[in-house]
Structure 1
Amino acid sequence: MEILGFLADGFATALTPTNIGLALFGCFIGTIIGALPGLGPVNGVAILIPLAFSLQLPAGSALILLACVYYGCMYGGRISSIMLNIPGDEPAMMTCLDGYPMAQQGKAPEALAISGIASFVGAVTATIGLVLFAPLLVQFAIRFGPAEYFALYVMAFATIGGITGANPAKTLLAAGIGLALGTVGIDPQSAVPRYTFGSFHLYDGFHAIVAIVGLFAISEALILLEHGIGGHSGAVPVNRAFARWPDIRKSLGAMFRGSGLGFISGILPGAGASLGSFIAYTLEKRYSNSDDTFGKGDPRGVAAPEAGNNAAAGGALVPMLALGVPGSGTTAVLLALLISLNITPGPLLFQNQPDIVWGLIAALFMANVFLLILNLPLVGLFTRMLSIPMWALMPFVVMISFVGIYSISHSTFDLQVMVGFGVLGFVLRKLEISVVPVVLGLLLGGEMESMLRRALAISGGDAGILVSSWISIGLYTITGCFLLIAVVLAVRKPRRPAVQPAADADYVGD
């Protein structure tokens, strides 16, 4: 009953005219960004962060806007998968297997409708799970001390490979770069400048938002500039999405099974929506493919992965809000937003600022309804957006990035830093190194160092405190299992075929 009371308060916050308008705008823009191949939810959220700052939105409203963009991108990724056989992001790849054959058979409206309904079922399931499980995780997390939090951060870095899909060596290299960048600035204990090279601009370190916009938005513009991507997609416009009730009824089981599997994979740090989509499709095919129709245009092959990836996207918010550890690449960007707004994610967030948490959860319920309404009658608009050349779209992205970053601090130095991070992101992506570990290292490195120092100070320098509790030992055990699984998968994984350069480096799992 207490949870219902908090949720009612959250709806009172979310149902203000401003937040309703922001949720609608976020859902609409997110769907467009998700439908455009190569952008995806991480870039979508990163691109809109400067807008949130330039509008000087309250913390809760900014989080609602970007979370709705996140959900909208997950919905929109299916559109190009079905219409063009080009996934808008990595989790939507499994939708291509049956969605595109349905479109080739003239069933694009049915495929779009079933995928939209499945996305709704998966996202609502995840949001309900967020209501039920996040408070329970908070009660457990209250028992964490500095040593336990240090173990948790170690686990977070060990699971980065699951977020990025990159090989372990490149992932660790990127994480090391992020940790190194996170040490720039004033040492929190000794107040000695570190790696500032005499520049007063670097005394506060690198602003996380400046780094994120550079690494994602500016590097994306550089990639597109290099390859000259443009032209029209050739997608056949669809006026509206509709499906017959027998096809929907046939797919309901796949939707609910995919939602459950996706949510479980989402709450595991590092698993992400890609794993949720893959597991949902694989198990549904094994469970339901008695007539050998999967891969040939079976509606259940569209419903299962769409429910799975949207449920995993919502599930990734659980560890971010309850523990302060991102469960996916996109939640890492949302974590940066919270930190930039002087909000500390974790168990105390539910106690100290419940209006922000429960307002966000209530807004997510609203967003799912908005997205279902938008994605059925207005799907024709979104399919036509596929014909916009990227060379015409990216100048607006760059403009928003520069204006937004300048509005944060009114500092031209930050613009130079943003461009520098953009060049760094461009180089890393050319080397097929994901930029998400760089973001996580920059975000979590300082707090990880602080927790380690605090734990050693409590114990008088005895490192045994790091493994003195069953929570720490359990977390290190889980970390070891994750590393072992990552090594086994890396050894057994076949070499992947070449993909489009602009889209490849953006696939970060969510």
Structure 2
Amino acid sequence: MDIMDGLLYGLQIIMQPSTLLYCFGGVFLGTLIGVLPGIGALATISLLLPITYQIPPTEAIVMLAGVYYGASYGGSTASILLNLPGTASSAVACLDGYPMAQKGKAGVALFMTTIASFFGSMIGLFLLIMFAPAITELGFKFGPAEYFSIMLMGLIAASTLSMGSPAKSLAMVVLGLLLGSVGTDVNSGVARFSFDIPELTDSISLVALAMAVFGVSEVVAKVNQVQGTISKEKITMRTMTPSRQEFKDSIMPMLRGSAVGSFFGALPGTGGSISSFMAYAVEKKVAKDPSRFGKGAIEGVTAPESANNAGAQTAFVPTLTLGIPGDATMALMLGALMIHGIQPGPSMMSEQPEIFWGLIVSFGVGNILLLVLNIPLVGLWVSILRIPYRVLYPIILVFMSLGVYSVNNNTFDVYVVAALGTLGYFMNVFKFPAAPLLLGFVLGPLVEENLRRALLLSRGDMMTFVERPISASILGVTAVLLIWAVWSSIRSDLKARAQAKSSIS
């Protein structure tokens, strides 16, 4: 099936009333969740995972994907209006979006973020369509050794390329690998790390882990946060319409932001945060007057938004074609596919064409729906942001508990959420990132499976990983990432010591 045939087939799938309804529900809910600060797509997808058990696989994945890129649209709203970023990737919108709101241009900022989000999404979708078949063809050349190597690279990339300390990220990957090894060993049938608790022999629930470290920890961390003051100005189409000069100044930043987001979105372990900050940094570098940034520059809003949404689309490239999640949300999407008995990889395009092409076409339909939805509903989002946090967050906790209980009808999973939520809170306090933990948890069993399979085929010869050209190349890139991370840590430490000595003297 070539690209045009696949797109036409996907259009038939997405235009079915039930699939279209779930697509609309996903993007609407995603936008709503993106608007509410501190919740995010991860917690929402975690909440919705139990529901997907009762939904056909195509509709379930289309809905979850809609939540994901819908949240990318709505994430900047709270940043612009309240200076409260809901997610790390929308934090950049605070830098120039909030100053624009203070100048009475909140409507313009919200309108242009919607346009930039749509533009970036369409660029990312185009690249996804063009490169997914080529990557799929490459994936057919992969054996267990290559899969082990690329998954290892994904885990290392999650540690070295993510925001914050590489050492802390690597520690979280290792913890995720350990949590992923809890349960019954597939080969020997022996229970591992179950501590004679019967419920742990089936492994830790992915839903419980995701809800705990991304949902409960965020709620507890932000429950005492002071709510910002929302402008009482009535937002109309006239106040939202940008001037001709503002629109002209946004065209090239949106193009550059889309290129940056598409590149970083397709890399395992990077995600939208890095692409947003990188796009902002690029605009400051190329700007004629960098001093405008941080004071309400329109380029400082449109470039990161287009990068964020382009990255949200291209993040599906390694997830669907190779089975390697690009970020924590993609790891959750991978888990959702596996729950339905679908193994993403090179054969997915041929074995599950209705899911693959239906999902691809749903991105285009969903982004059009988001464009139509977001502009008229700006006033609604502003009203929702006036709900006090003390009312909102208890409701979220109740839904989390109900959601995780409904998966297995087991109260033990609720206790797991409470325990891991406590862990997630302290991870927040001590600045340990949660995304590498989830990546390690999802990829850990797959890494172990492919490692064992490769060693069985080579009769225990470890050289099989370096004798195969593709595997050796990937391991070489992994080694470079590790060396770069170590050198960056040493250099940062030396700079910190030099600054400390200069301040003392």
Whole-angstrom CA distance in 2 between matches of 1:231 and 1:85 = 10
User: TM-score, with normalisation over the residues of structure 2?
Assistant: 0.92
* Aligned residues of 2:42 and 2:210 also touching (Cα < 8 A): no
Q: Which runs of 5+ in 2 are unaligned?
A: 495-505
1:209-248 to structure 2, matched below 5 A, reads: 209-224=207-222, 227-229=223-225, 231=227, 233-236=229-232, 238-240=234-236, 241-248=240-247
Higher mean C-alpha deviation, range 389-398 or range 446-455: 389-398
Partner of 1:498: none
1:362-373 to structure 2, matched below 5 A, reads: 362-373=361-372
Whole-angstrom CA distance in 2 between matches of 1:48 and 1:245 = 42
Determine if the alignment matches structure 1 residue 40 to structure 2 residue 30: no
> How many Å apart are 1:232 and its aligned residue?
5.8
Deviation per CA, 1:328-387: give whole Å up to 9, x if none. 121122112112222111112112111111111111111111111111111111122222
CA gap of 1:419–1:290, structure 2 versus 1, over 3 A, is: closer
Q: Which runs of 5+ in 1 are unaligned?
A: 496-510
* Aligned residues of 1:255 and 1:304 also touching (Cα < 8 A): yes
CA gap of 1:250–1:169, structure 2 versus 1, over 3 A, is: closer
CA gap of 1:330–1:163, structure 2 versus 1, over 3 A, is: farther
Deviation per CA, 1:315-334: give whole Å up to 9, x if none. 11111111111111211221
1:474-489 to structure 2, matched below 5 A, reads: 474-489=473-488
Deviation per CA, 1:17-47: give whole Å up to 9, x if none. 2222222222222122212222233233223
- Tell me which amino acid in the other structure corresponds to 1:4: M
Partner of 2:14: 14
Whole-angstrom CA distance in 1 between matches of 2:288 and 2:22 = 42
Whole-angstrom CA distance in 2 between matches of 1:264 and 1:328 = 14
- Tell me which amino acid in the other structure corresponds to 1:234: I
> How many Å apart are 1:151 and its aligned residue?
0.6
> How many Å apart are 1:231 and its aligned residue?
4.8
Deviation per CA, 1:166-198: give whole Å up to 9, x if none. 312222222222111222222111112222223
* Aligned residues of 1:232 and 1:387 also touching (Cα < 8 A): no
Whole-angstrom CA distance in 2 between matches of 1:364 and 1:396 = 30
1:482-501 to structure 2, matched below 5 A, reads: 482-492=481-491
Whole-angstrom CA distance in 1 between matches of 2:173 and 2:357 = 32
* Aligned residues of 2:38 and 2:219 also touching (Cα < 8 A): no
> How many Å apart are 1:237 and its aligned residue?
5.0
Whole-angstrom CA distance in 1 between matches of 2:61 and 2:101 = 36
Deviation per CA, 1:104-138: give whole Å up to 9, x if none. 22111111111110010001111111111111111
- Tell me which amino acid in the other structure corresponds to 2:362: A
> How many Å apart are 1:399 and its aligned residue?
2.2
Whole-angstrom CA distance in 2 between matches of 1:326 and 1:493 = 29
* Aligned residues of 2:47 and 2:403 also touching (Cα < 8 A): no
Whole-angstrom CA distance in 2 between matches of 1:375 and 1:490 = 42
Partner of 2:340: 341
1:373-392 to structure 2, matched below 5 A, reads: 373-392=372-391
- Tell me which amino acid in the other structure corresponds to 1:228: N
* Aligned residues of 2:39 and 2:219 also touching (Cα < 8 A): no
Coordinate RMSD, CA, aligned: 2.1
Whole-angstrom CA distance in 2 between matches of 1:188 and 1:402 = 30
Partner of 2:63: 65
Whole-angstrom CA distance in 2 between matches of 1:420 and 1:296 = 43
> How many Å apart are 1:50 and its aligned residue?
3.3
> How many Å apart are 1:454 and its aligned residue?
0.9
Whole-angstrom CA distance in 2 between matches of 1:107 and 1:452 = 55
1:135-154 to structure 2, matched below 5 A, reads: 135-154=133-152
* Aligned residues of 1:209 and 1:337 also touching (Cα < 8 A): no
Whole-angstrom CA distance in 1 between matches of 2:342 and 2:256 = 35
CA gap of 1:48–1:490, structure 2 versus 1, over 3 A, is: farther
> How many Å apart are 1:99 and its aligned residue?
1.7
Percent identity between the aligned chains?
38
Whole-angstrom CA distance in 1 between matches of 2:48 and 2:364 = 21
1:24-103 to structure 2, matched below 5 A, reads: 24-53=24-53, 56-103=54-101
Whole-angstrom CA distance in 2 between matches of 1:84 and 1:449 = 45
Deviation per CA, 1:459-494: give whole Å up to 9, x if none. 111111111111111111111222233334444559
| 3-state DSSP of counterpart to 1:92 | coil
